[in-house]
Chain A
Amino acid sequence: MHDRSVRRRRAILALLVGLSLILLTATFGDNVGGPLRSIQRGMLEVLAPIQEGANRVLKPFRDLAGWAGDTLDAKDERDKMRDERNSLRRQVVSLQQAQRENVQLRRLVGLDRQRDLERQDPVTARVIGRSPNLWYTTINVDKGSSAGVRRDQPVVNGEGLVGKVTEVTTGASVVTLITDHTSGVSARVLGGRGDEGIVQTAVGNPNDLLLEFLPRDSQVRRGERIVTAGTRSNRLESLFPPGIPVGSVTKVDPDEIDVYQRVHIKPYADLRRLDFVQILTDPDRDKAAVVSSGAGAGQARAQVP
């Protein structure tokens, strides 16, 4: 009797572990349109309204916990903000001058490549869920394909770049944040020579992004701002439009100069506390993609991060 119970217990454990391994292997090899992903998207479709309801109900508790944390950090935050305000005032003066010159130069050269975010048809979405573990920095939002959301569309908030859409269902989407280890964003330094690199994350440190592949002789300084580079070539188009703020340089370590230089960035967006985000749906880009794929006889257009 005891042996039978032990055998049954071990059999159940082996069955559940085996099932988990089968699921893991199948999902890992499954592509975006695969059957398991479709089932997951279907399940998310069912769970999204429940998540949205629970999110609204539990918001007061989240706000209460957030308020307690904010009160503790308030003094430090105020001092930092004062310093930043003074620095920004100085910058505004010089930027206004630069803006006037820029408008004149644009008229002269006829460039209008830099598009405003308003023209990217932003769709505001509520954050309804968040991954609890350190390895998947994703959030679920309550807008899906019915609102014009597609895979790979950039996601921002009032502070800067947040991430990109990686999965879409009719009424909800999954956004992979820029602090996820699979994320990579082409970016450039605002100031100096405007060197470009790739923003990646260091797993385990969500407040520290890395701007990799900068030229060795790049003269990046602490406090300089990093924005998306937004390559606009016909062959290699970036997923992110140019000029979206990503973060500011916090550390330039001479020891980290190898073939390329690497600098550390603090993201502008507070990715630990997101209530609303904007998805840049940009219908022009979709039309261009259709034209491009039609012209390319079925060839997928190459994209850089």
Chain B
Amino acid sequence: MLAPGVIVRLTALGVVAVIVQITAVSQITLLGTSADLTPLVVVSVGLLCGSVAGAGMGFGMGLLVDVALLQTLGISSLLFTIIGYAAGRLREARDPAHGLIPLAVGAAGTALAAVGYGMIQFLLGVEAPVSLLLLREILATVAVNTLLALPVYALVRRVVGPALPQDPRRRRGRQASTTRLSPFTRA
């Protein structure tokens, strides 16, 4: 169960991230496309706080995106819930320590969101022709998001980390320093 302090921080982070995305980031073009910070934030929360928090954050941020843009409710929530949960499960099951994990998971999360949107739109019915360049747009978005994955993860960790009871990286750091200081350690 998450502490109230973490929930408050996650809520504030989600609201600010969605507003910054809609009002600024979506209007900046990089490599012919725009970055999408929302899946990166959801993935980072999943990696730092676990599957339940990741899924909850994904649902909340997705709902806020759909509400703020008057889109069909539920599409972003569904995708971001799954992405947040999957990132959280990765942390719980494997506890990956490599520094580039957020980058890989961020890219995968962005790709899943983009492809998922496409699949749901096809299920709901698309009357317009679909260009193959959509694939290029998806790849460009994934590439831009991959570049931003590490800074976003660092920012989310900075915001949420202090309120977490056991930040995995701090725990490992503590264990390492304790081992070095132990009188039973060989010189």
List of B residues within 8 angstroms of A203 by Cβ: 126, 128-131, 134
Nearest CB on A from B51, distance (A): 6
The answer on a CB contact under 8 Å between B74 and A62 is: no
List of B residues within 8 angstroms of A272 by Cβ: 27, 29, 34
Identify A204's interface contact among B23, B25, B51, B134, CB under 8 A: B134
A12, A20, A28, A210: most-surrounded residue (chain B CB, <10 A): A20
Nearest CB on A from B127, distance (A): 7
The answer on a CB contact under 8 Å between A136 and B141 is: no
What is the CA–CA distance of A61 and B137 in the complex, to the nearest angstrom? 23
Q: Which stretch (A81-89, A115-123, A126-134, A287-295) binds chain B?
A: A126-134
Q: Check: A174 CB closer than 8 A to any chain B CB.
A: yes
Q: Check: A7 CB closer than 8 A to any chain B CB.
A: no
Q: Which stretch (B54-62, B100-108, B146-154, B175-183) binds chain A?
A: B54-62
Q: Check: B112 CB closer than 8 A to any chain A CB.
A: no
The answer on a CB contact under 8 Å between B65 and A135 is: no
Identify B133's interface contact among A20, A128, A181, A205, CB under 8 A: A205
Interface size for B (C-beta < 8 A) is 62
* Prevailing SS type, chain B contact patch: helix
B63, B68, B71, B121: most-surrounded residue (chain A CB, <10 A): B68
Q: A17-B78, A135-B117, A136-B69 are in contact. Are A202 and B133 (CB under 8 A)?
A: yes
List of A residues within 8 angstroms of B62 by Cβ: 20
List of B residues within 8 angstroms of A205 by Cβ: 131, 133-134, 137
New A-B contacts (19) at CB < 8 Å, excluding given A13-B55, A133-B113: A20-B77, A23-B63, A24-B72, A27-B73, A40-B73, A47-B19, A62-B27, A128-B23, A131-B26, A131-B69, A134-B114, A134-B118, A134-B138, A138-B70, A202-B130, A203-B130, A205-B133, A272-B29, A273-B27
10 nearest A-B pairs in the assembled complex, by CB-CB distance: A204-B134, A24-B74, A23-B74, A20-B78, A58-B24, A202-B131, A181-B128, A130-B26, A205-B131, A129-B22
